Amino acid sequence: MEILICMKQTFDTEEKIFIQNGEIDDDGVERIINPYCEYAVEEGIRIKEAHGGTVRLITIGGAEAEAAIRTAMAMGVDEGYRLDLTDFPADSDEQTTSECIVQLIKQKQIPYDVILCGYMSIDNGTAQVGPRIAELLGIPHISTITSLTVDGRQVQVERDVEGDLEKVESSLPILLTAQQGLNEPRYPRLPDIMKAKRKPLHRMKWDELRVDVQMIQARTKKVAILPVEEKETGQILSGTIKEQSQELIRLLHEEAKVL
């Protein structure tokens, strides 16, 4: 089984967000594997453990992303590709990243029966890249999966559709996006962390890809990044519980006017 994971590194979930000169300030932030991608990594490794094969991984990112790739390797990923779009000479958006990933797959002839992605990233959160890659490769996708069974070339999936559970069948090759609930990602063990350092990691810059910049550049453009307005500190009510409850209803009715 040829398993390919598209993984993103993100800020740690708990990081506070600061804006510097109109950009998100990334100075000194803790970075993690995007949690939804972590489910994808874990599931890829489990498929290999059950069926044999190779788990490969692609990450778009600068040198800092290698920490995430090494963590995934310590979990069990065999081989990694880091694609650096840092000096891409035009604006990039989800179209750019998905086209570049697909071009990398084609150019390096990375084999795949199953491609696993996180269903969304916790930074940009558009949930576009997985389905876009599937479309560009001409393969089906199933999103927000919470359970996966691979049986020969057949796949059976349970997915979360706004809380409803949908059972879907398909066959390989396929792209799947991971939702919370799919699995519990493992913690890498120390010997595996050591071994991960020696696993093959290929680095590529965007200009090594045979892509037409005009064609894959962003169709959307950033205008501004804005902070979330500081909310005034809320009002903690006081008095007996009964008084507080009466006061709350009065405030919601008369002050906030939401009742």
Partner 1 sequence: MGTANNVLIFADIRNGTLRQVTFEAISVAHQMANGGEVHLAILESLDPNQIESLKQLKLDRMWHVDHPLLKTFNLDAYVETWVHLIDLLNPDVILTGHTALGRDVSPRVAARKRIGLLSDCIKLDTSSTYEFVFTRPIYAGKAYVQRTITKPPFFVTLRPNNFVAHFDTSLDQSIEIKTFHPNLSQISLRTVVTDVVRKVTSGVDLSEANVIVAGGRGVKSKEGFAPLEELAVVLGGAVGASRGACDAGYADYALQIGQTGKVVTPDLYIACGISGAIQHLAGMSMSKTIVAINIDPEAPIFEVADYGIVGDLFEVVPLLTKEWQRINR
Ligand X SMILES: Cc1cc2nc3c(=O)[nH]c(=O)nc-3n(C[C@H](O)[C@H](O)[C@H](O)COP(=O)(O)OP(=O)(O)OC[C@H]3O[C@@H](n4cnc5c(N)ncnc54)[C@H](O)[C@@H]3O)c2cc1C
- Restricted to residues 216-235, the positions that interact with partner 1 (CB under 8 A) are 218-228, 231, 234-235
What burial letters (b/e) apply to 231-243, b meaning 16+ CB within 10 Å? Answer: eeeeeeeeeeeee
User: Which of partner 1, ligand X, none binds 131 (CB below 5-8 Å, type-dependent)?
Assistant: partner 1
CB 72 within 8 A of CB 45: no
DSSP string covering 119-168: S--TTT----HHHHHHHHHT--EEEEEEEEEEETTEEEEEEEETTEEEEE
Which CB, 120 or 175, lies closer to ligand X? Answer: 120
Task: Give the length of the chain.
Answer: 259
Contact between 160 and partner 1 by CB under 8 A: the answer reads yes
Query: CB-wise, 35 or 53, nearer to ligand X?
Result: 35
Is 172 one of the binding residues for partner 1 (CB under 8 A)? no
Residue closer to ligand X by CB (options 13, 156) is 13
What x/- string results for residues 51 through 90 when contact with partner 1 is judged by CB under 8 A?
----------------------------------------
Q: Does 169 bind partner 1 (CB under 8 A)?
A: yes
- Taking CB under 8 A as the binding criterion, the range among 45-53, 64-72, 93-101, 202-210 that sits at the site for partner 1 is 93-101
Q: How far is the CB of 207 from partner 1 (least distance, A)?
A: 21
Cα–Cα nearest to 130, from 172, 98, 92: 98
Q: Where does this chain touch partner 1 (CB under 8 A) — which range of 60-68, 78-86, 176-184, 198-206? A: 176-184
First CA to last CA across the chain, in angstroms? Answer: 57
**CB of 67 closer than 8 Å to CB of 12:** no
Q: Which structure tokens are listed for 132? A: 């876009």
Handedness of CA 113, 100, 87, 36 (dihedral sign): negative
Q: Of ligand X, partner 1, none, which one does residue 124 interact with (CB within 5 to 8 Å by kind)?
A: partner 1
43 binds partner 1 (CB under 8 A): no
* 20 forms part of the interface with partner 1 (CB under 8 A): no
Q: Which residues bind ligand X (CB under 6 A)?
A: 35, 180
